[in-house]
C-alpha cells in the first residue's frame, strides 16, 4: 500500500466538515504552561536551537505591526515558531491552525482556527488576523503556503491570505513589517539534529492598494531567497554567527570522546 505523505488539498477540505471559528484564548497561567511545555519538547528532541539575522526583526519600527512568515514542512514548525515568538521576539504568538478543533488546548497558547472548506469560513480567520496583529503584545506568525510541503520544496508558492492580511493591516495601522523566516532541521556535529532559524530581510508595506497576486509573488521570492541562503550557508558549515536559544550539555560518552581527543600520545619511536 502506497503511503501518501503530502496532499495538495487542505485537511478541512478533505474532511468536508464545517468547523466553528475559535479565537485564541490565552492567560498568564496557560502561557507559562505552554512556554515550559513547548520549550521542553524541543530540548528533548534536539541538541540545540540557534538563530541568526535577528537584527532584521529588532531594527524594525516597532510601533507598527509585524508578521513573521515561514515555510511549513513538518509537525515541529508550529512548536519552533512558538519558541521564536516567546524566547526571541518576547511576544505572545498568534498562529493560525487548521483543524484546531482536534487540539483545542492550543488556543490557550495563542492558536486560532481556520476552516478552508469555504471562502467565507476562511475569511473569518483572515479578518481576525488583521485585528490581532494590531495588538503589539502579539507576534503574528503565518504559514502562507496553506498546506504542508516537503522540505526544500521549490518553487515556494503562497496562497493570497498573507497579502490580504498585510494589505488590511497597512490600511488600518499605516504600515506593516513582513519578515520571512527560514527554519532548518539538520545534523551538525552531534548525534541529534539541531533547529536553525534565519530571519530574512524585512519588507515594509505602506500601500494597501498593491496588486494582491503580484505582491504575493514578491513575498514568495523573499522567503525562497532566505531559505536558499540558509541552506547554502549550512552546506558550507557557516554557522558560527548563530546565537543560541539552548544547547545541550554533552552526553557522558561525548565527554569521554573529547577527553580522548585531548590526550597527546607519544610517538612509538620515542618509547
Which of these, 159, 194, 187, lies nearest to 80 by C-alpha position? 194
Residue 154 pLDDT exceeds 90? yes
Quick one: CA dihedral 105, 106, 107, 109, positive or negative? positive
Between 99 and 254, the higher pLDDT residue: 99
Judged against a pLDDT cut of 90, whether residue 20 lies above it is answered with no
| Band (267; pLDDT cuts 50, 70, 90) | low
Taking the domains of the chain in order of start, what are their residue ranges? 13-270
pLDDT value of residue 249: 79
What's the burial of 234, exposed, middle or buried (CB within 10 Å: 0-12/13-18/19+)? middle
Cell of 107: 488556543
pLDDT class for 257, splitting at 50, 70, 90? Answer: low
User: What is the rounded distance in angstroms from the CA atom of residue 194 to the CA atom of residue 191?
Assistant: 10
Residue 133 buriedness (CB in 10 A; 0-12 / 13-18 / 19+): buried
Over residues 115-135, the pLDDT tens digits come to: 888 888 889 999 999 999 999
Cell numbers linked to 52: 541568526
- Which one has a higher pLDDT value, 251 or 149? 149
How does DSSP assign 21-88, residue by residue?
Answer: -------HHHHHHHHHHHHHHHHHH-SEEEEE-THHHHTS-TTS-EEEE----STTHHHHHHHIIIII
For the chain, helix (H) and strand (E) counts, in that order, are: 8, 9
Q: For all residues of the chain together, what is the average pLDDT?
A: 92
pLDDT for residue 261 is more than 80 = no
Strand, coil or helix: 203: strand
pLDDT at position 76 over 80:
yes
Angle at 158 between CA 157 and CA 161, to 5 degrees: 175
Which of 100-104, 171-175, 181-185 bottoms out in mean pLDDT, i.e. has the lowest? 100-104
Mean pLDDT of 31-40: 95
Q: What percent of the chain has pLDDT over 70?
A: 92
CB atoms under 10 Å from CB of 225, counted, come to: 15
pLDDT for residue 237 is more than 60: yes
Whole-number pLDDT of residue 174: 97
- pLDDT confidence of 40, banded at 50, 70, 90? very high
The predicted pLDDT at position 134 comes to: 97
CATH architecture of 13-270: 3-Layer(aba) Sandwich (3.40)
Report residue 17 as a C-alpha cell.
Answer: 466538515
Amino acid at each position: 500500500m502506497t503511503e501518501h505523505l503530502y496532499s495538495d488539498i487542505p485537511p478541512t477540505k478533505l474532511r468536508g466538515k464545517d468547523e466553528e471559528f475559535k479565537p485564541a484564548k490565552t492567560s498568564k497561567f496557560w502561557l507559562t504552561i505552554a512556554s515550559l511545555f513547548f520549550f521542553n519538547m524541543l530540548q528533548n528532541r534536539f541538541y540545540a536551537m540557534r538563530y541568526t539575522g535577528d537584527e532584521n526583526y529588532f531594527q524594525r519600527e516597532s510601533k507598527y505591526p509585524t508578521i513573521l512568515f515561514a515555510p511549513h514542512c513538518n509537525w515541529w514548525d508550529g512548536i519552533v515558531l512558538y519558541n521564536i515568538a516567546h524566547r526571541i521576539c518576547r511576544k505572545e504568538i498568534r498562529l493560525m491552525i487548521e483543524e484546531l478543533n482536534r487540539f483545542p488546548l492550543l488556543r490557550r497558547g495563542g492558536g486560532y482556527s481556520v476552516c478552508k472548506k469555504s471562502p467565507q469560513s476562511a475569511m473569518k480567520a483572515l479578518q481576525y488576523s488583521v485585528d490581532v496583529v494590531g495588538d503589539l503584545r502579539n507576534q503574528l506568525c503565518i504559514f502562507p503556503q496553506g498546506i504542508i510541503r516537503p522540505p526544500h520544496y521549490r518553487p515556494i508558492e503562497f496562497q493570497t491570505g498573507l497579502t490580504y492580511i498585510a494589505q488590511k493591516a497597512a490600511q488600518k495601522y499605516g504600515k506593516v513589517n513582513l519578515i520571512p523566516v527560514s527554519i532548518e532541521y539538520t545534523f551538525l556535529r552531534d548525534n541529534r539534529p539541531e533547529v536553525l532559524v534565519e530571519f530574512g530581510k524585512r519588507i515594509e508595506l505602506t500601500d494597501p492598494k498593491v496588486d494582491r497576486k503580484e505582491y504575493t509573488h514578491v513575498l514568495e521570492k523573499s522567503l525562497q531567497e532566505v531559505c536558499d541562503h540558509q541552506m547554502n550557508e549550512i552546506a558550507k558549515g557557516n554557522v558560527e554567527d548563530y546565537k543560541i536559544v539552548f544547547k545541550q550539555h554533552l552526553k557522558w560518552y561525548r565527554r569521554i570522546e573529547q577527553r580522548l581527543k585531548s590526550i597527546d600520545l607519544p610517538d612509538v619511536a620515542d618509547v
